[in-house]
Structure 1
Amino acid sequence: MKTKSPIFAVTSWIRRQPPKMKVFLAVLSGIAALLFLRMVVEDHNNLFVASEVVHVLGTCVLTYKLTKEKTCAGLSLKSQELTAMFLAVRLYCSVVMEYDIHTLLDTATLVSTLWVIYMIRFQLRSTYMEDKDNFKIQYVVIPCAVLSLFIHPTTNHLLFNRICWAFCVYLEAISVLPQLRLMQNIQIIEPFTAHYVFAMGVARFLTAAHWVIQLFDTRGRLLIALGYGLWPCLVMLSEIVQTFILADFCYYYVKSILGGQLVVRLPAGVV
């Protein structure tokens, strides 16, 4: 009789648990990861830089897929367009408000994202799953724009710049939704697309970890530094939402990789 691997036994046990237990285990795992990062990483600002580097690497995976495999099957053009939109706005804010290492990283990510959009729209249009990429992006862009008009930073910068800053924060939090909808429609995700989405999940987690750890390290003073009103709370909420949006997919991705599968299979109803 073949002995089951410990990994298979653990994943099978998790799969049998009720939804509330799965949520508890996910939260517990997140807390453990935060504590580990807090102990290992000395300068917690590096977590934010690391998240942007992971985003760049994820986009490089897409570049390889489009160049070598000559197909954009499984990729959401709408997610790429939302990503380019928030990156362009964030790059503008970075130039006029900060101009540091984040400016360089955002520039690299924006250029590569625009190249991906070009490839999907023109060079590889025949392989684009347009009928599956059916998320209505106006349902997220318009609410983000309206919300940013009313809830934005209270710094000394120009009002327009502060509204732009808020808009890119809100839009980034939900920019991956069209990609998740497409994957929900097809349910079988090939390796390079899966690697890219997983990289986005890691990047989102590192960003959220940066803010949460900073919040504890400053004993809450970080919220005061961000301004007053609802803006500090929405910044934190946006970062956490980004992570939880991708949590389900990341679980199935890790499960597939550990199980030696080349593709990620999503059960109905996931993401």
Structure 2
Amino acid sequence: MKAPRRPIYAVITWLRRQPPKVKAFLAVVAGMATLVLLRAIIHDHDNLFVAAEAVHSIGISVLIYKLMKEKTCDGLSLKSQELTAMFLAVRLYCSFVMEYDIHTVLDLATLGATLWVIYMIRFNLKTSDMEDKDSLPLYYVVVPCAILALLVHPTTSHHIVNRIFWAFCVYLEAVSILPQLHVMQNTKIIEPFTAHYVFALGIARFLSCAHWVLQVLDSRGHLLVALGHGLWPSMVLISEIVQTFILADFCYYYVQSFFGGQLVLRLPSGAV
């Protein structure tokens, strides 16, 4: 006699059978339900942004552990790390000249860890195999973000250069993971530590997005006015949402693999 399946496996099996549109709808519903729950249990929603940066730091720590333990950078995108260092450096500059708070300290620690990862990949653990897979040109990501920052940036009282830099780091952060997803598309098989790192980024992106959405709701839209006028307030929210949805597909397969007891994540064709 077969043992009854655990409810979580029954749910995952049901989800697998659903068409993409139904999965997307369910993902949106789950995201909205999570936002409602976070709003109810967390009173100071600024803590969500701190939590997002903390989760990002945990992801970097997992990455460092992988590099030190396995002595290999297989599955990792050097270009994503370089883009991460770039937007963190620009955001730190903006923090120092525009506002200095706890986020500045967290960003500084994350930037230091990211630079260490870049050093290890570039000089200590470089592999020719990953150069072929990590083939997305950086200017495909950086140039559009720079052009968009020139066109759409804050309308606050800060110097125009600082406002453009601020917009640039917001846009670049939203798409900095694209080279890593490109690598995963090329490999299809993702070892555990890399999967944990990317999943941590997905959680961090969601928490950051939740922070902005709940802040807007709490202020009844006044926060958008404080950010300036024109397209910029909307672009901030869109950038946060884009960050979340870019990684949503991967997070789905990660959770599915985790509950299926698989140590190595295998992505189907067309995923992420």
Short-chain TM bin = over 0.9
Aligned residue in 2 for 1:187: 188
Aligned residue in 2 for 1:45: 46
TM-score by length of 2: 0.97
Aligned residue in 2 for 1:12: 13
SS at match of 1:4: coil
Letter of the 1:160 counterpart:
V
- Report the Cα offset of residue 215 of structure 1: 1.1
- Report the Cα offset of residue 128 of structure 1: 5.7
- In structure 2, the CA distance between the partners of 1:128 and 1:192, relative to structure 1 (3 Å rule), is farther
Aligned residue in 1 for 2:162: 161
SS at match of 2:127: helix
SS at match of 1:50: helix
Aligned residue in 2 for 1:30: 31
**Separation in 2, partners of 1:42, 1:76:** 37
Aligned residue in 1 for 2:230: 229
- Report the Cα offset of residue 260 of structure 1: 1.3
**Separation in 1, partners of 2:51, 2:128:** 32
- Report the Cα offset of residue 3 of structure 1: 3.3
**Separation in 1, partners of 2:34, 2:267:** 24
**Separation in 1, partners of 2:38, 2:265:** 27
Aligned residue in 2 for 1:115: 116
| 1:158-191: CA deviation from partner (whole Å, max 9, x where unpaired) | 1110000000000000000000010111111111
Aligned residue in 2 for 1:142: 143
Letter of the 1:95 counterpart:
F
| 8 A Cα contact 2:91 2:169, kept in partner | yes
| 8 A Cα contact 1:72 1:128, kept in partner | no
Aligned residue in 2 for 1:243: 244
- Report the Cα offset of residue 4 of structure 1: 2.8
Asked if 1:73 is matched to 2:74, the reply is yes
| 8 A Cα contact 1:52 1:105, kept in partner | yes
**Separation in 2, partners of 1:168, 1:209:** 19
**Separation in 1, partners of 2:12, 2:265:** 15
**Separation in 1, partners of 2:217, 2:83:** 31
SS at match of 2:132: coil
SS at match of 1:130: helix
| 1:123-165: CA deviation from partner (whole Å, max 9, x where unpaired) | 0013761111111221110010011111111111111100000
Letter of the 1:59 counterpart:
I
Letter of the 2:71 counterpart:
K
Query: Which runs of 5 or more structure 1 residues have no equivalent in the other structure?
Result: none
| 1:48-92: CA deviation from partner (whole Å, max 9, x where unpaired) | 111011111110111101111101110000100000000000010
SS at match of 1:149: helix
Aligned residue in 2 for 1:57: 58
Asked if 1:257 is matched to 2:254, the reply is no
- Report the Cα offset of residue 11 of structure 1: 1.0
| 1:3-33: CA deviation from partner (whole Å, max 9, x where unpaired) | 3332221111111111211111000000011
Give me the identity figure in percent: 69
| 8 A Cα contact 2:188 2:268, kept in partner | yes
Letter of the 2:40 counterpart:
M
| 8 A Cα contact 1:73 1:127, kept in partner | no
Letter of the 2:242 counterpart:
V
Asked if 1:203 is matched to 2:181, the reply is no
**Separation in 1, partners of 2:106, 2:205:** 15
**Separation in 2, partners of 1:246, 1:145:** 22
Letter of the 1:126 counterpart:
T
SS at match of 1:131: helix
**Separation in 2, partners of 1:137, 1:269:** 22
| 8 A Cα contact 2:74 2:127, kept in partner | no
Letter of the 1:171 counterpart:
L
